[in-house]
Amino acid sequence: MKKACVILANGCEEVEAVTPIDYLRRVGVEVVAAGLDGREAVGGHGLVIGADAALDDIDDEEFDCIVVPGGGGGAQAIAGSEVATAMLKRQAAAGGLIAAICAAPALVLGEACGLLAGRCFTCYPGLEGRVPEGRFEPSRVVVDRDLITARGPGCAGEFAVAIARVLVGDEKADELAAAALLG
Evaluate if residue 183 carries a pLDDT over 90.
no
pTM exceeding the 0.75 threshold for the entire prediction: yes
Is 4 buried (19+), middle (13-18) or exposed (0-12) by CB count in 10 A? buried
Task: Please pick, among 102, 113, 123, 155, the residue that the annotation labels catalytic.
Answer: 102
What architecture (CATH level 2) is domain 3-179?
Answer: 3-Layer(aba) Sandwich (3.40)
In whole angstroms, give the CA distance from residue 179 to residue 160.
Answer: 13
102 carries an active-site annotation: yes
Listed by start position, the domains of the chain span 3-179
The secondary element (H helix, E strand) that includes residue 135 is strand 135-136
Residue-wise pLDDT for 88-117, tens only, equals 999 999 999 999 999 999 999 999 999 999
CB 63 within 8 A of CB 91: yes
pLDDT, residue 31, reads 98
